[in-house]
Amino acid sequence: MAEYLSPGVYVEEFDSGAAPLEGASTSTAGFIGLAQRGEIEGLPQLVTSVADFHRIFGSYLSENAFGDYRFLSYAVEHFFLNGGARAFVMRVAPSDAKLANNQSASNKESSILNIQSKNPGAWGNQVRIAVVPSSKAKTQIYEILGDAEQSKQYRVKNNAGFNVGDVVAFEANGEKQYNKIVSSQDNIIELETPLEGGEAVIDQNLLPAKVLTTSEFTMHVFYGDEAETFERMSLNVSAANHIEKVMARSNIVKVQDISGGGSGAVAPFEVISGQEETAGKYQIALSGGSDGSVANLSASDFMGQDRGPGKRTGIQAFIDNDFVSIMAVPGVTDPNVQLALVAHCENLGSRFAVLDIPRDKTKVTDVMTHRNIFDSQYAAMYNPWLQVFDPLDKRNIYIPPSGSMVGIYARSDNTRGVHKAPANEVVRGVVGLDCQYNKGEQDILNPQGVNLIRQFAGQGIRVWGARTCSSNGLWKYINVRRLFIFLEESIRNGTNWVVFEPNDEQLWARVQRTIDAFLTRVWRDGALTGSSPGEAFYINIGRSTMTQDDIDNGRLICVIGVAPVKPAEFVIFRITQKTREE
């Protein structure tokens, strides 16, 4: 309560109505798979376009090298083609994938710097680095403090940029002599050894001919069309411009200084290259990077490991991500991986898994063998594989449907709403199907929760199923399950303000008004059945839902019931012959 201690006018604000509750996003995708480059542990990377994906994760993978594990890039491409807008991607790499580095016997810089590609892959072998001399500060010497021949202290015009431990060069008459800074304060610099020349080092002219400069180097890092420049770095461990501190910002390489700081008063460029600064440029090439082999790829690589925050891999990396609502591991049909993905979605309760069926399983009995492994309301299964154009091999290939389906989910959510079943939608960018199922075959597969993609004359290729992999009839439709995910996440995110508020009738009324306003809007959008909000949902909160024991233990219990819309899966027109007597 505000304090009123002195006379005056006090203006105060207060909340008179329900707090607004914003709907949660349902169209953000999460993908896991093999890629040319990209981090293999930590947080999944956000991509918002195909170009964005290729910039971070590289281009398409070879069929000869990676077979059915190569489909991540195709899936992401068709996700955006079919209407997706945001995706988080986590790269997986075989256990024998290696970092490219500069540690070869012919590299002189190998004993000074350990340079590696940012992440494993043969892509690192194309990284090129150019090192050039540079300087961050220069000044002129005004006075020698003490004996001109023996003193190491010099009063300079400006000591800004001259740090303890920096290598400096005194240049006069085209010649340089190198030294090291012991102290630098109040325009007085103390060097490791006296400068040669005595009083001759002093230059008080307005345009000095003799200057004291710091000695640094600049690195230009190149990979394909990417270029990074890191200016005026040093090997001085205590300086803010030490190479490890500056190069930590690089997206291409990571650098470790293994010189130990024992190079003395030698120009850093010369320490790295073994050449004098007059050489102007020194080139470094990385080698030894490897993409690994399929033989060293296992289900555990996709399932991932939980090594703690920032160190998780595979599916486990998405534990740290609160934005993803649809997930897929394109082309990976190992039951262990798919079951791990489904378990991940079930445990979090805020996301939905889209599963592929092995391409070689096209017969109904074979499809059912794979389908019968799963029973989950948080997953849906699609078949067959889709024929698309491959920009890499310049021919048509078959890709798993999960990437396209996740894009259709996002498209349907954005155009109609999450309550609309993502079915009877055209699959964009597809020229054919791996196999064509007929109505009789779908009569067997559809009731079992296998959603088929079919081609209809004059209607293109369409998604012709909207069922989950659940045996529970209440949750057999994808849109019902995803609508509840949307409602639960929206209410969870929008009611944090309730925590630690006084648990009384006033709070209960505010909570009820907040949720009532939100569900009324959802009903008006067509997501709930009923001719009025009262028929579409109910909200119970207060003494009818809580005992005194609940209140004493800090529990506020609100019971919400909603009537979701169900898709018109079977449209039946009953037609009879009209007679004159009728």
DSSP string, 347-403: HHSS-EEEEE--TT--SHHHHHHHHTT--BTTEEEEES-EEEEETTTTEEEEE-SHH
Report the SS3 class of residue 133. Answer: strand
Count of other CB atoms within 10 angstroms of residue 577: 5
> Is the C-alpha dihedral spanning 11, 12, 17, 20 positive or negative?
positive
Report the SS3 class of residue 513. Answer: helix
User: Exposure of 11 by Cβ count < 10 A (0-12 exposed, 13-18 middle, 19+ buried)?
Assistant: exposed
Report the SS3 class of residue 483. Answer: helix
> Nearest to residue 554, comparing CAs of 502, 485, 482?
502
Q: Which residues contact 459 (CB under 8 A, 6 or more apart)?
A: 426
Query: What does the pLDDT read at residue 107?
Result: 55
User: Exposure of 80 by Cβ count < 10 A (0-12 exposed, 13-18 middle, 19+ buried)?
Assistant: buried
Q: Which residues contact 497 (CB under 8 A, 6 or more apart)?
A: 19
Question: What amino acid occupies position 211?
Answer: V
Query: What does the pLDDT read at residue 261?
Result: 65
User: How far lies 573's CA from each of 177, 570, 576, in Å?
Assistant: 97, 10, 10
Q: Which residues contact 475 (CB under 8 A, 6 or more apart)?
A: 377, 468, 481
Strands 537-541 and 282-285: unpaired
Instruction: Name the helix (H) or strand (E) containing 461.
Output: strand 460-464
> Nearest to residue 137, comparing CAs of 262, 232, 224?
232
- Give strand ranges (E) for 207-304: 211-214, 216-223, 226-233, 253-257, 282-285
DSSP conformation letters of 177-207: EEEEEEEEETTEEEESSPPTTGGGG---SSS
User: How far lies 263's CA from each of 174, 240, 271, 407, 576, in Å?
Assistant: 24, 19, 7, 56, 98
DSSP, res 167? E
Phi then psi dihedrals of residue 399, to 5 deg = -125, 155
Alpha-carbon Rg of the chain, whole angstroms? Answer: 33
Let me know how many helices (H) and strands (E) the chain has, helices first: 14, 26
CA 114/CA 203 separation, integer angstroms:
41
> Nearest to residue 322, comparing CAs of 487, 475, 492, 480?
492
- Can you list the alpha helix ranges (DSSP code H) found in 437-539? 439-445, 478-494, 505-524, 533-536
Residue 92 bridge partners (DSSP): 34
Do residues 97 and 290 make contact, with C-beta atoms less than 8 angstroms apart?
Answer: yes
pTM of the model: 0.89
User: How far lies 15's CA from each of 18, 20, 572, in Å?
Assistant: 8, 11, 52
CA 450/CA 359 separation, integer angstroms:
14
Mean pLDDT by 10 residues, the chain (582 residues): 86 79 93 94 95 93 89 96 96 93 63 89 93 92 81 88 90 84 90 84 84 92 92 90 92 88 80 84 92 90 90 93 95 96 96 96 95 96 96 92 97 95 96 94 95 94 96 95 97 93 92 94 95 95 93 95 93 88 61
User: How far lies 455's CA from each of 36, 287, 364, 458, in Å?
Assistant: 34, 48, 18, 9
Query: What does the pLDDT read at residue 175?
Result: 80
Question: What amino acid occupies position 533?
Answer: P
Query: What does the pLDDT read at residue 150?
Result: 77
Do residues 323 and 126 make contact, with C-beta atoms less than 8 angstroms apart?
Answer: no
HEC string for 55-108: HHHCCCCCHHHHHHHCCHHHHHHHHHHCCCCCEEEEEECCCCCECCECCCCCCH
Domains and CATH numbers, the chain: 29-92+298-479 (3.40.50.11780), 108-134+216-285 (2.60.40), 138-214 (2.40.30), 499-582 (no CATH)
DSSP, res 479? H
